[in-house]
Amino acid sequence: MIGRIFILDGKVLDYGRFALLLHSYRRMKRICALLSVDVLILGRYIIGKRRNLCLDYRRSKAGSNNE
């Protein structure tokens, strides 16, 4: 089964399409613009099959930011 990429604002991209975009930083900036998200959100993309993977990642990121 193909996974999906969950973005913290709740939008979802198909993994295959997004993987192609990852080959170019300029394309990454473009997709961020199309999704109306900050280009700096690069590290917040999550590859997972279920939404709880997104939530677990968000909690772990929040914890690491507090250090």
Q: Residue 2 has what pLDDT?
A: 40
Tokens of 20: 């192609």
Q: What is the pLDDT of residues 46-60, one digit of tens each?
A: 443 334 444 444 455
Q: What is this structure's pTM?
A: 0.24
Could you tell me the pLDDT band of residue 62, with boundaries at 50, 70 and 90?
low
Q: Residue 33 has what pLDDT?
A: 63
Q: What is the pLDDT of residues 14-38, one digit of tens each?
A: 555 555 555 555 665 666 566 554 3
CB 5 within 8 A of CB 45: yes
Task: Check residues 2 and 34 and name the one with the higher pLDDT.
Answer: 34
Q: What strands, in cross-sheet order, belong to the sheet with 4-6? A: 12-14, 4-6, 46-48
